[in-house]
Copies of this chain bind each other. A is one copy, B any other.
């Protein structure tokens, strides 16, 4: 295979979910992958899965990817830097400041280390859950620092691109602040909410709907991993949770005195602020203004949705996103199609002229 950027060999240390997934993706591109893991059985499993070969004495990797839990990342990175004095070393831990600080304290040669963080994962862990396509289309943060050269950083970018990910450069501090907001604080919020269900009656949980399931889904995450993440990024997470608690205090005060003047407005502003925030997220309910959404009624017969999409393709219109809403037993589905605003009017007119029923996108 020639459509790859990295020449290899690449050494992967830690054959859990992320390490094995990276290895599988590199193997698909024909890169020589040398695997190492503290657990012989984990290593054997990853090799069985086709993730590469066992590392050998005399290996001279161009790139080493350390895929171990956050608590031990800096120690393993330092060891790899010492063992392979010509290799660039990166890691995939969910925090980026703490490992860099620890490496500097350990006196490691950080001119050959650059941290990274692929924003991808699964609720399952281990090599058994690995997949070569785990990173496709996902952001991959590359956290440069002053001691690293531009060409070194480019090598990690090539890794991300070879895996189909979208490289995003930011400092370690910016990374940690950003993931505290979009990942770590939400984990705490969801876990605390789910914890309230611990002593719920069966009558209460029988009323739970999709909203609660979605809101608490990530509360099923692994405690051992999250203790390490929360501790390593504690100050940034705490800053967000302090602000969150201030808002919560105001909400509780309003609910405790609902008849005070202004309480309606305060509650409306609380919900409206949530509307504004969620609209900032890219993807299906986000990027307000970036895409127009139209809803087409589609009969629940095989081939109808395909016919709709064929006709959209014939019109030369590229869909940015598609969501089908379809309840079991319903005779009609709603296909919500996101397109660039410039083509919305033409698309609606053309589809209507072909007999499709269009609804407004309301939500």
Q: Which residues of A approach B to under 8 Å, CB–CB?
A: 119-126, 128-129, 131-134, 136-139, 141, 164, 166, 168, 170, 174, 177-179, 181-183, 185-198, 200-201, 203-224, 226-227, 230-231, 234-235, 237-238, 240-245, 247-249, 251-252, 255-256, 258, 263-264, 267-268, 270-287, 290, 297, 300, 302-303, 305-307, 309-310, 312-314, 316-334, 357, 359-360, 362-363
Contacts and interface: CB of A to CB of B under 8 A. Distances in A.
A248 B248 contact: yes
25 contacts: A133-B329, A133-B332, A133-B334, A136-B332, A137-B327, A137-B331, A166-B327, A174-B203, A179-B207, A181-B197, A188-B251, A193-B244, A196-B243, A200-B280, A205-B286, A213-B285, A216-B281, A220-B279, A227-B268, A230-B255, A231-B258, A245-B245, A290-B328, A319-B326, A322-B326
B216 A141 contact: no
A122 B295 CA distance: 14
A148 to B, nearest CB: 19
A78 B312 CA distance: 51
A184 to B, nearest CB: 10
A281 B363 contact: no
Contacts of A177: 204
A287 B328 contact: yes
A329 B291 CA distance: 13
